[in-house]
Structure 1
Amino acid sequence: MLRNRYIVLVEDDEIMGGSLLQRLELEGAQVLWLKQMVRALGAIRTPKRPIDAVICDIGLPDGSGEELFSTLARTAIPPPFLFITGQGGIGQAVRLIKSGAADYVTKPFDMAVFLERLSLLVETHEKPLQDDDFPPVLGVSVAARRIEGLIVKAAKTSQPALIRGGPGTGKDLVARRIHDLSDRSAAPFVSVNLAREADAETALFSPACGFNGIGEGTLFINAVSRMTAQTQSRVLERLDRSFDGRLISACGNDLEALIGQGAFNSELFYRLSRIEIPIPPLNTRPEDAVWLLQRLFRKLAPRHAPGLVGIGALCEEAVRTHDWPGGGRDLRARLLRGLAMATGPLLQPSDLFPERLAGPDDMMSLAQAREAAEKAQIIAALDRTDGQIGEAAKLLRIARTTLWEKMQKLGLSGS
């Protein structure tokens, strides 16, 4: 996947840089290794050939990866950046992704995971997502990174995998990623969603369909909890016979209850869940909700609302605190509606959540209004200073300690 790719590596550590250089060249990539920000700046601005990706350490001897990316972004769209950071730099890496960087990995990292994320970054950049598609990864949170690790492990085996999560959590994206990263990627990937099929038996067992249509590929069965007892028995029988393909299934969080009620075969459950990948709901991953909003906005706004220049700080805060019962699909639907209804230069909470508009009987108190206005101003200052509390305090013309106390009271964070 990296053969003949042109990669710029910005890393001052001799051991880390040498290890990455050797492995990338073994993968067939052409690598330019640079150890200073100033040299990287010139090489990326005027490359010898189009750059497929930049691998960049956050800490550099004459600056930082953040400075390098920000400087490039002022005059052009930088190539895809994959940042390398220690545990203490995760907040900085997340800010960079919000600003347009592609991804980050945390030291120490597994080389297989690193290569997988780099390959995904290159492929996504080369083949832009369609207007109605979601990003191929689930987010920037610790939970999203954990899921990425499970995906890579699942791709290395042919054992059945069960993906569990509520509506709109990206179960189909995870199944597809497992297939694409596996040795079966050249074979068919067939998806059967039992929530949309009038006849599950036909979809799964007819000639050239379901089990009979994948060869050595992957069959993804979504909403397995909707199987009748007869369908469950037939799936078990098929798994007991010769089956050259790989089975991935998905469900909500209700299978144990169905097993307890006798509505789902416990033996089938154990067969399907040799590998289990749980996806937490979006409302438990607020940073992923904001990240997804930003990614979808950059993709959808130019087509649906070219007059909008960005997302307001209060809008991001509203997304962060919303329950998102429909997951990412819910977020995308609200964004499309908001883009159609927005009237100002920035997307506002009322564009995404018109039901929150105050009526005559539910006005905020003056204390609530002051707190909301103060919170919005602090968020704007933190956004402008990339989360630097000292710089934000100067903009707001208050002491750093005063700002820190207000942020603690309002549940905000910075650096």
Structure 2
Amino acid sequence: EKENALRAVELGAYDFFAKPIMIDELAVILKRASYVTGLERDLEILRTRTGEQKDFEGTVAMCAPMLDIFNTVKRVAPTDASVLIMGESGTGKELIAKAIHRKSPRRDGPFIPINCGAIPENLLESELFGHEKGSFTGAHVTRPGKFELADGGTIFLDEIGELTQPLQVKILRFLQDQVIERVGGREPIQVDARIIAATNRDLEEMLSTKEFREDLFYRINTIRLDLPPLRERGEDILLLAMHFLNLYNREYSKNIRGFSNAAHGTLAAYPWPGNVRELENRIKRAVIMATGKLIQPEDLDLPYDDELGGGVKRAGNGGLSMQPGTTLKQAREETERRLVAGALLRSRGNISAAAKELDVSRPTLHDLMKKLDIDPGDFKGKDS
């Protein structure tokens, strides 16, 4: 009976079918169940992997550059060496800084972050170093700054490239002598804090234009970590997507099992200009908006380009978005990757149709997919 069948689904059955059994219908149900089971198995593997990386504050990865960074974090964390973290906005610089702090002997002390580019210039000195009562209009009480609050722990100077020259001098003095002076103060204050700095700017270029002090640069650049953008972490995209799916399933009491093949293809083809932060926000939205057991491309709400397809985004000049310093070989491979992924997404993994759209032979497309490490199976499925 239908009521019993619905009850069985509530208790964990995948689906049900009515008698007499229709072979075609049974085949479809079994195919879907097999696909979902595979997704659940993959999700469990990913949960295990993300659990192994719990000490990295939710920063999970399989790609070699990020694993190298994790290993460097383990080596540098026990020391008091200054660390400079470079990377585009949204790549997870603060998460890496927190991981260093949590693995250091200072782990029981405070971790004090401050975004040097988010505070007006006339207030930043007071935020960093504190002020004495009466030192300026509105200073009604003495107030410690971020450096004093970080005593015994770590201060994270995000966007350090935005500091003015006078503030750079004060940071340099702290690095040399471990002392600061409050605004309006006369006595130096001893502070025991480790500095971790981060920026999305090219500090070496700023050295040549005298915007950033050379002596400060070499002080903060004892250990340098260069975080790759998400578009260069292809094998990590689904891993991170599953990690965030698991996270927001718990937060919103949802039970979404994974991503449709089409959504998987969309995630792989999109260039992620906002990096990991954008991916997290897209998955968060998808978990909230999804109505089925699998996330679909429309749940992700990515900005598509119909001409290129597959979540590929045009740059403002009408070309494909590339970063400064991209070589011709890298640009060619990235363009090929996006076009092939877009064609496979629109053809739902049909190699003949994708080859026809790209105006190449099937053998040529097979060679391209092998070179670019693209699996057409990732794009198969009736959902698009």
Structure 2 runs not aligned, ≥5 long: 1-36, 131-142, 179-190, 308-339, 352-362, 378-384
C-alpha separation in 1, matches of 2:114 and 2:193:
15
C-alpha separation in 2, matches of 1:343 and 1:357:
25
C-alpha separation in 1, matches of 2:44 and 2:118:
35
Structure with greater strand share of residues: 1
C-alpha separation in 1, matches of 2:271 and 2:252:
25
C-alpha separation in 1, matches of 2:195 and 2:368:
52
**Closer, same or farther: CA 355–189 of 1 in aligned 2, 3 Å:** closer
Give, in angstroms, the shift of residue 294 of structure 1.
Answer: 0.8
Structure with more contact order per residue of length (Cα contacts < 8 Å, sep ≥ 6): 2
**Closer, same or farther: CA 138–345 of 1 in aligned 2, 3 Å:** closer
Give, in angstroms, the shift of residue 372 of structure 1.
Answer: 3.6
User: Is contact 1:163–1:278 with CA below 8 Å preserved after alignment?
Assistant: yes
**Closer, same or farther: CA 282–98 of 1 in aligned 2, 3 Å:** farther
**Closer, same or farther: CA 369–151 of 1 in aligned 2, 3 Å:** closer
Matched residue type, 1:205: F
User: Is contact 1:305–1:340 with CA below 8 Å preserved after alignment?
Assistant: no
Residues 77-117 of structure 1: CA deviation (Å, up to 9, x unaligned):
9xxxxxxxxxxxxxxxxx9677334239xxxxxxxxxxxx9
Tell me if 1:279 matches 2:246: no
SS of the equivalent of 1:276 reads: strand
C-alpha separation in 2, matches of 1:168 and 1:269:
23
TM-score, with structure 1 as normaliser: 0.57
Find the partner of 1:189 among 111, 114, 120.
Answer: 111
Find the partner of 1:164 among 81, 86, 108.
Answer: 86
Residue 170 of structure 2: aligned partner: 234
**Closer, same or farther: CA 281–192 of 1 in aligned 2, 3 Å:** same
User: Is contact 1:188–1:217 with CA below 8 Å preserved after alignment?
Assistant: yes
Residues 269-322 of structure 1: CA deviation (Å, up to 9, x unaligned):
110111111101111001212211111112213554837432112212222222
Residues 357-389 of structure 1: CA deviation (Å, up to 9, x unaligned):
759xxxxxxx999844665479xxxxxxxxxxx
Q: How does 1:99-138 map to 2 (within 5 A)?
A: 99-103=45-49, 121=54, 136-138=58-60
User: Is contact 2:244–2:284 with CA below 8 Å preserved after alignment?
Assistant: no
C-alpha separation in 1, matches of 2:350 and 2:45:
20
User: Is contact 1:98–1:294 with CA below 8 Å preserved after alignment?
Assistant: no
Q: How does 1:306-385 map to 2 (within 5 A)?
A: 306=254, 308-356=256-304, 358=306, 371-372=344-345, 375-376=348-349
User: Is contact 1:188–1:214 with CA below 8 Å preserved after alignment?
Assistant: yes
C-alpha separation in 2, matches of 1:280 and 1:170:
10
User: Is contact 1:314–1:376 with CA below 8 Å preserved after alignment?
Assistant: no
Residue 412 of structure 1: aligned partner: 374
C-alpha separation in 2, matches of 1:167 and 1:189:
20
User: Is contact 2:285–2:300 with CA below 8 Å preserved after alignment?
Assistant: yes
Give, in angstroms, the shift of residue 182 of structure 1.
Answer: 0.8
Q: Name whichever of 325-334 and 170-179 sits farther off.
A: 325-334
Q: CA RMSD in A?
A: 3.7
Residues 217-251 of structure 1: CA deviation (Å, up to 9, x unaligned):
11111010110111111111222223522111111
Matched residue type, 2:87: G
Residue 381 of structure 2: aligned partner: none
Tell me if 1:148 matches 2:70: yes
Structure 1 runs not aligned, ≥5 long: 1-73, 78-94, 105-116, 125-134, 360-366, 379-400
Tell me if 1:293 matches 2:241: yes
Matched residue type, 2:282: R
C-alpha separation in 2, matches of 1:354 and 1:305:
24
Residue 109 of structure 1: aligned partner: none
Percentage of pairs with the same residue: 27
Matched residue type, 2:276: G
Find the partner of 1:259 among 183, 193, 207.
Answer: 207
Find the partner of 1:200 among 103, 111, 124.
Answer: 124
SS of the equivalent of 2:225 reads: strand
SS of the equivalent of 1:169 reads: coil
Give, in angstroms, the shift of residue 216 of structure 1.
Answer: 2.3
**Closer, same or farther: CA 284–354 of 1 in aligned 2, 3 Å:** closer
Give, in angstroms, the shift of residue 172 of structure 1.
Answer: 0.5
Structure with the greater alpha carbon radius of gyration: 2
Matched residue type, 2:148: N
User: Is contact 2:77–2:103 with CA below 8 Å preserved after alignment?
Assistant: yes
Aligned length: 271
Tell me if 1:212 matches 2:174: no
Matched residue type, 2:61: G
Moved over 6 A (4+): 367-370, 403-406
